[in-house]
Structure 1
Amino acid sequence: MHPVAPAWVRVRLRTAPGAAAALALLVALTACLASAFPRALDRYEDTGLVRAVERATPQRTTVLMRAPQPGLQLPQRQREQALLPQAVGRQYAAVLDTVRRPLAADPGQSAYGVQTRNDLAVPDLWLSRPSGLPAKVHLVARSGLAAHSSVRTGRLPRASGEVTAATAEVEAAVTAETAGKMRIEVGSVIHVPAVSRPPLAVRVTGILTPRDPDGAYWATQPLLRTPDLIRLPSPDPAPPEYWLGVLLLPPEAAPALLGTAGYAVPYWQVAPDTRALHAHELDGLKSAVASLESGPGLGRVREATDPGTQASTELDDVLLSYDSLRSGIVPLVAVAAVGSATVAAVVLLMAGGLAADRRRAELALLRARGASLPGLTGRLLAETAVVAVPAGALGLGAALLAVPGGRRTAAVVAAVAVTAVACAALPLRAAVAHRVVRVHGPREDTVSVRPSRRRTVAELTLLVIAAGAVEALRRRGVSGGSGDHLVSPAPVLVGVVAALVLVRLYPWPLRRLARLTGRMRGVVGPLSLARAGRTSVSPVLPLLALLTALTTAAFGGSVLAGVADARDRAALLEVGADARVEGTGALPAGLPDRVRRAPGVRDVTEVSLDHWAKAGRTMRQVPLAGVTPAKYAALADRTGLGAFPAEQLRRPAGAGSRAPLPALASPSVAAAYGMRPFPVRLGDGTEVTVRITVVRDRTPAVTGTSFLVVDRAGLSRATAGTSTLLLTGGHLDTGALRQAVGKSASVQLRSVQRTRYVDSPLQSGAETVYTVAVAAGAGYAVLALLLSLLRAAPERAALLARLRTMGLTRAQGRRLLVLESLPQALLASAGGALTGWATIRLLSPGIDLTAVALPSTAASLGGSALRTDPLSLALPTAAVLLLAVGIAVGQAWWTGRRGSVRELRAGDAR
C-alpha cells in the first residue's frame, strides 16, 4: 500500500490539475481569511485599549505610591538617609519588580522622589499675588529631571556638599509655565517656612522646558509643570485666590524637606507601558492593577518600602470602562464571524462532496475490485492533503503578512482547522457513500425518496437541540454586553432549523405543481418541475449555506444600518437640525439673510434662546426658546423632534400683555409646574407668564431634558432678538456657511458632529471586521450556489443536448434550465429572508447598538435597538434569484455553443 499511494497521488494530480488548483485556491483563500480574522480582532481591540488608556491621561492611569514621612522615633541621621536617592532609588527598583505581567511598567516615564504633602505659604512679596494672598509651593526632589527637560535659562540645580534637615539654602528649578505665572526668575530666592529654625532659602538656578509635557513623567502630577490658581470658597463674585506651584530640587537635597512644615514623604510613580497592553489579557491586567493597588502586590511593595505605603490609581476604572465597551461589541462581531465560518465550512464540505460525486463510478469500481475502505480513504486523504496542506500554509503566511500584530496561535489554529476540514471532506464523503460494495446505487429523487430512519432521527435530534437553544435564548433574552454564547451561533441555529424544515417541506409543493402542470400543453413546465424533483443531490448543505449567509447578511446589514441611524439621530439631537448657528447674544441683523443665501441651505428657522430664564417661585433655571410657531412646528415635524400643531403654541390674537403665553415644555418641567399659568423671569430682568399646552420629550432648539418653548411675539424686544439659527438642507457647504457667519457666531454641523461619534478604534474596527465578515459570508454563499449547480451541470448539459435532438429550441432550453433552478433558488431566497427576519426579531429585544454607535459621553442622547432593515433582507434575496437565473441562462448558452453530439458523447461517457 505505501509504495502505491505516492504513485496514486501523482497520477491523480496529473489527470485532474484543474480540480487540484481549484481546491488549493479555495483552501488558501479560506485559510487566509480564517487566520486574518483573529489577528484583525486582536489588532483593533489592542488599539482601542491603548487609545482608552492614553485618553484617560497619566493622572488617572499611573500608579502612584506614597510612604509616610520617616518617624520621629528614628535618629535624625537615619531619617535623612531614608530620603536620599540611594535609599529611595533602591526601593524604586523593588517596586518595579513587584509589577506582574501582563501589567508592565514604562521605566522611561516612571520616577521616584521625595515631596512635601502640605502647601507651604511663602512670604516673598515679589511673587505673583492676584488677590493679595501669599503664594504657596511644594518642594519636590525628583529623579530623572535632566532626562525629561531641557534648560531654557540658567542651569540644573545641584546639591553642594551634604544636605541635612538643618541646611539653610538649597537650589531648585522651575518650569517655564511656573516661572511666567508666578514671576520667578533665575537667581530668585524663595523663603520656605521651616520648623524651629529660620526659613529655608531656595535659590532658583534654572528655568526648564518639559520635553514631553503630556507624558506620564510630568502629567501624572500636572502641578510639576503648571501652577494652579486656587480659588477659596466665598460668596463674593470675585473670590480670593492664590498661586500654588512646585520648586524642583535635586534628589540629593531631599533631606532638607524634613526641616520644613511640608511633611516630606517618599513616593514612587509607576507608569504603565502602553506597548505591552493587550485586550486578550484584560482580565489579567485588571487583576494585576487590583493586586498592586490593594492586594498581594501592595503587600510586596510595603515589604520593600514601608508598612504604611499607600497606592492610588484610576487605571482599574479605565480598564473596566473599556471592558464594558468591548463586551457590548464583541457579541455582535461574533455573530458575523460564526455565520461566515459556518458558510465557509459548508463550502469546503460541498467541494469534497462534489469531488466524491464526480468520482462515484471510479471509487465504486475500486471497491468492487477489492479495495478496502481504510485503504481507499487513506489514498484520498493523501491525495487531498498534498494539495490542501501547502495551500493552507500559504494562506496562513499571507494572513500573517497582511495583518501584522495580534496573536499567532489563534491564526495557526484557524488555518489548521480549515486545512483539516478540506482534507477530511472528500475521504469522509467517500467512506459514507462506499461503505457497502455496490456498482449501481438506487435513485434518490428529492420528491419520491423516503428518508431513512437514521436520517430522521439525526434530523429530529439536531432540530430539537437547535430549537431548544433558540427558545432558551428567546426566553432569557440577551444583552449586548452579557457575552452570552448563544448570541453568536443564533443565525446558524435558526438556519439549521429552517433548512431542515424547508428540505422536508420542499417535495410537497413540487408534487402539487407537477400535477397541475401535467395538464398543460407545453413540455417545458412539466419537464422542468420533474427535473427539479428528480435531482439526486441533497439540498441540505447548499440550503444551509445559503440560509446562514443570507441570515448573517440580513443581521449584519441591520446592525450597520442601526449604527448609522443611531449616529444620525444622536447628531440630530445634539444640533437640532442639519446645522446650527448660535451666538453668545443677539446675532447681527443681516446674518439670517446671508445664511439663507449660502449654498445648500433650504430653510432657516430663527430662535431667541435664553439660557438664564428662571421659572416659578422656586426660580428654577429653565432654558427658554422664543420661536415663530408656524416655522418651528414645520422644523419639528421635518426633523422628528417633538412635532406639534402650530396652533397650540401661537399667541391668541388680541390677547393682552398679561395673558399667559402657550408653552411647549419637557416632561420634567411639566411635572414641576403643571398646566396652570406660572411666571418666568427672563435673562434681561423682564417677566412673562406662561401656561404649558404641549409636552414633548425633545425639541430642536434646546439640547437636554429641561426646556420651555413659547411664541417670540409675546417676549420683550431684547429677549425676542434672534440668537440662534437652525438650518436645514441636503448638502450644506461648510466653507461657505462659515464664511457667511464669520466670527459673530459658532457654526455646528450635523454631519461633522456625526463623525465625532466614532470615538474608539474598537468601534471603527468592529464595523470594518463586521463588514468584511458579512462580505466574505456572501461570497462563500455565492460559491455554495455555484457548487450546487455545478454538481448537476454535466447531467443538465447531456439532457439539454438530447432534447435538442428531439426538436427543443434554444429558447425552450433556456426556459427549461431557468425553471428547473428556480424552485431551489426560491426556497433559499424565501427561507433566507424568513430566517433573517426571525433572527433579528429574536435578538432585537436584548441587543443595544449604543456601544458600537456612540461613545460613552453621548450615550445619554439615546440608545439604539436592533431593527429589521428591509434593504438588507431584499438585496441578498434578489441576488440569489438573479444569480441562479443567470447561471442557468449561461449554462444553456454554453451548451448551445458546444453542440449536441459532443454533449451526448460526454453524457454517455458519464
Structure 2
Amino acid sequence: MRAVRLRREGPGDGTPRRGPARPASLRLLRREARGDAPLLACLAVLVAVFTGLCALGPVELGGKEDQALRQRLAAAADAGAVLTVSAPVELPQPGLGAPNPPALRTQLESGGQSVVSTAGRTLGTALRPVRTTVDYQLLGIDSPLPVDPRVTQESVTLHHISDAPAYLHYVQGAAPADSTPAGELPGIALSTGEAKLLGLGLGQQVELWFQATRSSPRYEVLVRLVGIYRPEQEQSEFWRQLPGLDKPLEYPGQLAGTLNIAVQGLVGADAPELLAKQGIPLPTVGWEYRVALGDAAVKQLPALAADTRNLAIDLNDLLCTDSPATGDSPCSIGAHPSGSYVVDDGLTPVLTAFTGADAQTRALAGFAVASLAAVGLATVLVSVRLLLRRRAVHLRLQRSRGASATGLVLQRSLVTAPVLLLAGELGWRLGLLPAPTGTSGSPQPVAALLGTAAALLLVPLLTWYAVREPGRAREVRRRASRRTRRLVLEATALVLCVGGVVALRVRGSGGGAGIDVQLSLVPVLVALVAVLLLVRLYPLVLGLLAGRSRRGGGVVAFLGLRGAARDAGGTSLALFVLVITLGTAVFGGMVSRSVYDGAAVGAAWTAGADVSLVQQGDVAPTPVAAGGSSPVRATVAEYLRTVLLTGDEDGANLPQTALITVDPAQLAAADPDGPLARALGVLHGGKPVATGTASATAPVLADPGLIVAENGESLRAVVDSALGSSRTALHLKPVGALTPALRQDPVLGPLVAGLPADTPVIVGTTALEPLLPAQQTGGTALLLFARPGAAPAAVAAAAADALGPQAQVRVRAEVLGTLRGDGLVRIVDDVYTVCSLLAVVFGLLAVALELVLTARERGRTSSYLRTLGLAGRQAAVLQVLQLVPLAVAAAAGGVLVGVLEPRLLGPALSISQFTGGPAAPALHTDYLLTALLGAGLAALVVCAAVVESTVLRMRRLGGVLRLGEA
C-alpha cells in the first residue's frame, strides 16, 4: 500500500500555500538557541563581566597608584624640600674696578626659571618653586655681654628667604627692606628668643665678622637690628623645616662649662650687594622645589628619575661656558658669575622606594587577579559542560543518524559564538564607560580577547570530545583511558607546582616591571595540586566513615557517605573553585594582617620609643624631667660614632665600623624586657664599666663577623675628632655577639636605620664617652618613653629642645599612621576585597551549576531508594549528606592552601616594602577571618544542598522511577 502525502492548497486558486522561505540551517540554529537560552545567558554574563573588568580594572588600579605616588611626594615635601639647586655667586668687591652688574635680587626669579627650563621635559613640567634663598656661611658676632655668662662664642647665619614674611609676626620693628636707602646699614631681623639670648634690642648696631683661616684677613660688617619677630602658624610646614629661625642652637664650647650659641637671622633681598661692599662677597643662592605630578603619574616615573639623575650635569653643561684660556667652565646666575650648580636630590630616594613598593603591590595584586581568572574560567567550563549535558541525548541521536562530528561542532559553535562575541563587546564598552581618564593604567584588550577566546574554544572542544565517537565505542575507550589521563594530569600538575615553587624560592622577590606572572600562577598551581590530593584522599576517608556508619545501623548516613565518595571525581571542578576562592580570601587576609602587624614593628624600629629626637653629631642632651607629673616615664640617650678598627694581635685592618654607646642603667629602667637591655645587664652585671684610661680594655657587644675575623681577640679602635686634627685610640674587647635579634632591637633603630645594611656595629656603654671625641658625622638619639595614658604630643613637647632646634622628631604613633595609611597598602586591600567578592559570586554560580549538572544522578539514586521504601524525609537528608563532605573538604582545603601558600613562596613574597623595619615582617594569619570564611563557605554549600533537596521534594522528582530506569 503506497503512502499518500496530503498537501494543503491555496485558497481557491489551486496553488500551494507557502510561508516565507527560510533556510533549514537558520531554523535549526534558532531552535537550538531557544533551547539553550538560560545557559547561553549565563555564559554571556560571565564573558561580559570578564571583559568589563579588563576594561575598567587596570584603569582604576593605575589611578590608585597615581594617587599613592602623589601622596608619598606630598609627605616628602612636608618633611623638607624634595629638590634643591644651589650655587655660590660672586659679587663685585670694592676697589676691583669691575663693572656693577644688575642687582642680584632682580635675577633670582629668572635664575630659578632657568633651572626649570634646563631640566628634562618631565621633571621641568613637574617642578613647582617653593622658595628662593640667599645664604651666608657662619659669621661671628661681637655683641654686648650675653645674658648667659657661660656663653663664650656667638655666631649667626644670615638668610634671605622669599616666603618668610608669610610665617612671621613682627612684635617690634619691621622686616628688613629689600631696597635699603643709601647710607643706611643693612637690616637684620631676629626672633624674640634669639634677641633676648644675645642681649640685643631694636635699632641696635651689631658687628659681624668673618675670617676663613687664621692667616686670612678678617672682614667686619655692621648691621642694624630692624625687626624682632615671633612665629606665625607655628604648626606649618615652614617652621617644621626651618626651626632654627626661631630657636637658637646651643652646644658645648671647647672649655668645660662653656657654651656656644648659633642663631639665624633674616636680611633683605639687597643684602648681597651691601655685604659685598664690606668684604663678604660669596653668598649661596638656592632654589627649593617640590614635585607635583598630574595625570598618569606612575607612567612618568622612569623619565622623571632619569631627568633627576641628569639634572646636575645638564645645569652645568647648559648654564656654564668653557673657557679655552683657563680650561675652566665658569657658570653664571644672570649677569653674575657663580660656582658650579649643586643639586640636593631628595627626590630619587622617594622614587626608588615607591618603585620597589609598587612592584610588590603589583605582584600581590597579580595573584588575586590570577585566582579570579581561574575561578571565572572554571565557572565557564561548568556552564559549557551543563550546556552539553542538556543536549547530550539530542547529540547522540544526531550522531547515530549519521551526522558528522565536525558538523555537530560547527552547529554548536554557530549558536554560541555570536552570543559570546556580542557579550564580550558589550562588556568591554560598559567597562569603559565609568573608567576614569588620565591614569597610568590602560584597558587590557589582549586579556579581554584571551578570556573571550577561551570561552569560545571551550564549546567546540568539549563538543568534539562528546561526539567524536559513537556511544558504545566512546564508553569503552573512555573506561580504558580514564585512569591513564588522570595520572598524567596529576603528575604534570605536581611537577609544574614543585618546579614553580622551587624557582620562586631560588629567584627571591622581584619579577621585573608589571604583573609578576610567575608569582601569580604558582599559587593557582598550588591550589590545583591541593584539590587533586583532596580528590584522592577524601573518598578514602568517606569510605572509612561509611563503614563505621553501616556497622552503627545508619542506612541514610551510609548511603550518603558512599554516594559522596563515589561522586568525588565528578565534583572536582566545584572543589577546585571553592578551594581557590577560599584560599585567595585567606591569603589576602593574611597579607593584610601581616602588613598591619608589621607596620607596628616598623614604626617601633623607626621611632625607637614613643617619641625620639635624632640630631646629627654628638650633642649633649638637655636633661628631661621624667616621672611624677611629667608625661615622660623614662629617657635613654644614645651616641653614634664611626671608628676604624685594627686587630690587637695581627694588626689587620677591619671595615669602618659604627660604635654606639648607651647607658645600660637608663635602658634597663626604660625597657627592662628588651633584648639589648637584658644582654647589657648580663654583660656588665648591671653596673657601669669603669674603663679608667684609654689603655684599658672595655667589654662590648660586637658584630659576629668582627668576632670571627679576630677570633675573639681585642680590637684597637681609632676615633677621629670633629675637626679631624686629632684622633683617639682605645681598646675594645668583644665579649658577646650582637646577634640579629639584638641588632633589630627597636632602641637601636633611630641610629642604625641611617647606616648601610652591611655596616658592622659595636655596642658599648656610656662609660666610654669621656674617652671619645665629638664627631660631626656621628649622631645622637634621645628616646622618650611615655607614661601610661600620656599623649605623644605632650611627650614630644616636654623634650622639644633637648637636642636643639635642628633635631628630627619621630613620634611612633604618627609613623604608624603613615605606614598603615599608605596608598599602596590600600590598593592591596582593595584588590583582594574586590577579587574575593567576585570570586565568591563566580564560585557560588559554579557550585550551583555543578549541582544542576549532577542532580540527575542523585535524583536517580533517590528514585531507586524511594522505590525500595526510603521515606521522603530520609531521602532529603540523603541529598544533603551527599554534599556535606564537599563543603567540609572545600573549607579545609581552602584554609590550608591560604595558610600554606605564603610559607611556600618564601622570599618571593616580600611585604617589607609596606612596613619598614630592619627585616621582613613575620607572616600572621588572621585566625578569626579564616574561621569565618571557612565556616561561611561550608554553610553556603550546605544551604545550596538544602535548597536543591527542597526543590526536588516540592516537584517530587525523586519519588518515582522514570521510564527505562527500572
**In structure 2, what residue type is equivalent to 1:386?**
L
Q: Over residues 20-42 of structure 1, what are the superposed CA-to-partner deviations in whole Å (9 max), with x where a residue is unaligned?
A: 55445545555565666545544
Mapping for residues 42-57 of structure 1, pairs under 5 Å: 42-57=62-77
Q: Does 1:551 align with 2:563?
A: no
- Please give the alpha-carbon distance, in whole angstroms, between the structure 2 residues aligned to 1:219 and 1:726: 28
Q: Does 1:666 align with 2:684?
A: no
- Please give the alpha-carbon distance, in whole angstroms, between the structure 2 residues aligned to 1:776 and 1:48: 25
Structure 1, unaligned runs of 5 or more: 162-166, 596-606, 644-663, 681-694, 709-722, 728-733
Please give the secondary structure, in 2, of the residue aligned with 1:246. Answer: strand
Q: Does 1:467 align with 2:498?
A: yes
2:463 match: 433
Structure 2 counterpart of 1:819, from 881, 897, 901: 881
Q: Post-superposition shift, 1:95?
A: 1.9
Change (3 A) 1:138 1:312: same
Q: Does 1:865 align with 2:899?
A: no
Q: Over residues 696-738 of structure 1, what are the superposed CA-to-partner deviations in whole Å (9 max), with x where a residue is unaligned?
A: 999xxx9789999xxxxxxxxxxxxxx99997xxxxxx79x99
Q: Post-superposition shift, 1:382?
A: 1.0
1:312 match: 344
Please give the secondary structure, in 2, of the residue aligned with 1:864. Answer: coil
Change (3 A) 1:283 1:908: farther
Q: Does 1:386 align with 2:419?
A: no
8 Å contact kept, 2:633–2:785: yes
2:260 match: 240
Q: Post-superposition shift, 1:263?
A: 0.6
- Please give the alpha-carbon distance, in whole angstroms, between the structure 2 residues aligned to 1:285 and 1:835: 41
8 Å contact kept, 1:563–1:849: yes
Of 371-380 and 547-556, more deviation after overlay is shown by: 371-380
**In structure 2, what residue type is equivalent to 1:667?**
A
Structure 2 counterpart of 1:623, from 653, 660, 665: 665
Change (3 A) 1:78 1:530: farther
Please give the secondary structure, in 1, of the residue aligned with 2:291. Answer: coil
| TM-score with structure 1 setting the length | 0.67
- Please give the alpha-carbon distance, in whole angstroms, between the structure 1 residues aligned to 2:633 and 2:422: 78
2:297 match: 278
Of 791-800 and 202-211, more deviation after overlay is shown by: 202-211
- Please give the alpha-carbon distance, in whole angstroms, between the structure 1 residues aligned to 2:607 and 2:449: 53
Change (3 A) 1:903 1:851: farther
Change (3 A) 1:445 1:223: farther
Q: Post-superposition shift, 1:381?
A: 1.5
**In structure 2, what residue type is equivalent to 1:350?**
V
1:885 match: 942
Q: Over residues 144-176 of structure 1, what are the superposed CA-to-partner deviations in whole Å (9 max), with x where a residue is unaligned?
A: 889999999868945489xxxxx7558768698
- Please give the alpha-carbon distance, in whole angstroms, between the structure 2 residues aligned to 1:37 and 1:750: 35
Q: Post-superposition shift, 1:554?
A: 3.4
2:87 match: 66
Structure 1 counterpart of 2:850, from 771, 788, 812: 788
2:282 match: 263
Please give the secondary structure, in 2, of the residue aligned with 1:136. Answer: strand
Of 69-78 and 782-791, more deviation after overlay is shown by: 69-78
- Please give the alpha-carbon distance, in whole angstroms, between the structure 1 residues aligned to 2:121 and 2:63: 20
- Please give the alpha-carbon distance, in whole angstroms, between the structure 2 residues aligned to 1:207 and 1:475: 62
Please give the secondary structure, in 2, of the residue aligned with 1:763. Answer: helix
8 Å contact kept, 2:524–2:580: yes
1:292 match: 311
- Please give the alpha-carbon distance, in whole angstroms, between the structure 2 residues aligned to 1:237 and 1:105: 54
8 Å contact kept, 1:665–1:707: no
- Please give the alpha-carbon distance, in whole angstroms, between the structure 2 residues aligned to 1:207 and 1:571: 37
Change (3 A) 1:160 1:801: same
Q: Does 1:140 align with 2:160?
A: yes
Q: Post-superposition shift, 1:76?
A: 5.8
Q: Post-superposition shift, 1:795?
A: 5.0
- Please give the alpha-carbon distance, in whole angstroms, between the structure 1 residues aligned to 2:311 and 2:785: 52
- Please give the alpha-carbon distance, in whole angstroms, between the structure 1 residues aligned to 2:475 and 2:39: 26
Mapping for residues 742-753 of structure 1, pairs under 5 Å: none
Q: Post-superposition shift, 1:898?
A: 1.8
Q: Does 1:85 align with 2:106?
A: yes
Please give the secondary structure, in 1, of the residue aligned with 2:352. Answer: helix
Q: Post-superposition shift, 1:69?
A: 2.4
Please give the secondary structure, in 2, of the residue aligned with 1:489. Answer: helix
- Please give the alpha-carbon distance, in whole angstroms, between the structure 2 residues aligned to 1:675 and 1:518: 71
Q: Post-superposition shift, 1:239?
A: 0.9
Q: Does 1:117 align with 2:130?
A: no
Q: Over residues 185-217 of structure 1, what are the superposed CA-to-partner deviations in whole Å (9 max), with x where a residue is unaligned?
A: 9988877779999957679599899899956xx
Q: Does 1:346 align with 2:378?
A: yes
1:95 match: 115
- Please give the alpha-carbon distance, in whole angstroms, between the structure 2 residues aligned to 1:40 and 1:396: 11
Mapping for residues 498-577 of structure 1, pairs under 5 Å: 498-503=530-535, 524=556, 528=560, 532=564, 539-563=571-595, 566=598
Change (3 A) 1:69 1:544: farther
Structure 1 counterpart of 2:527, from 483, 495, 511: 495
Q: Does 1:222 align with 2:242?
A: yes
8 Å contact kept, 2:603–2:812: yes
8 Å contact kept, 1:62–1:315: yes
8 Å contact kept, 2:209–2:221: yes
Structure 2, unaligned runs of 5 or more: 1-21, 211-216, 322-329, 333-338, 611-623, 639-659, 692-737, 750-762, 766-783, 800-810
Mapping for residues 594-609 of structure 1, pairs under 5 Å: none
- Please give the alpha-carbon distance, in whole angstroms, between the structure 2 residues aligned to 1:506 and 1:831: 11
8 Å contact kept, 1:141–1:254: no
Change (3 A) 1:808 1:842: same
2:10 match: none
Change (3 A) 1:318 1:570: closer
Aligned residues: 792
8 Å contact kept, 2:363–2:519: yes
- Please give the alpha-carbon distance, in whole angstroms, between the structure 2 residues aligned to 1:388 and 1:95: 51
Please give the secondary structure, in 1, of the residue aligned with 2:101. Answer: helix
Mapping for residues 715-726 of structure 1, pairs under 5 Å: none
8 Å contact kept, 2:295–2:438: no
8 Å contact kept, 2:188–2:224: no
**In structure 1, what residue type is equivalent to 2:940?**
L
Mapping for residues 828-839 of structure 1, pairs under 5 Å: 828-839=890-901
8 Å contact kept, 1:96–1:270: no
Q: Over residues 764-798 of structure 1, what are the superposed CA-to-partner deviations in whole Å (9 max), with x where a residue is unaligned?
A: 44344444444444444333323322322355446
Q: Over residues 514-550 of structure 1, what are the superposed CA-to-partner deviations in whole Å (9 max), with x where a residue is unaligned?
A: 9999999887567656755776985453333233223
**In structure 2, what residue type is equivalent to 1:391?**
G
Q: Post-superposition shift, 1:666?
A: 0.8
Change (3 A) 1:212 1:108: farther
**In structure 2, what residue type is equivalent to 1:292?**
L
| TM-score with structure 2 setting the length | 0.64
8 Å contact kept, 2:135–2:283: yes
8 Å contact kept, 1:61–1:315: yes
Please give the secondary structure, in 1, of the residue aligned with 2:259. Answer: coil
**In structure 1, what residue type is equivalent to 2:87?**
R
Q: Post-superposition shift, 1:272?
A: 1.7
**In structure 1, what residue type is equivalent to 2:574?**
P
1:653 match: none
Q: Post-superposition shift, 1:342?
A: 2.8
Please give the secondary structure, in 1, of the residue aligned with 2:482. Answer: coil
The Cα RMSD (Å) is 6.2
Change (3 A) 1:389 1:809: farther
- Please give the alpha-carbon distance, in whole angstroms, between the structure 2 residues aligned to 1:274 and 1:456: 55
Mapping for residues 187-226 of structure 1, pairs under 5 Å: 214=236, 222=242, 226=246
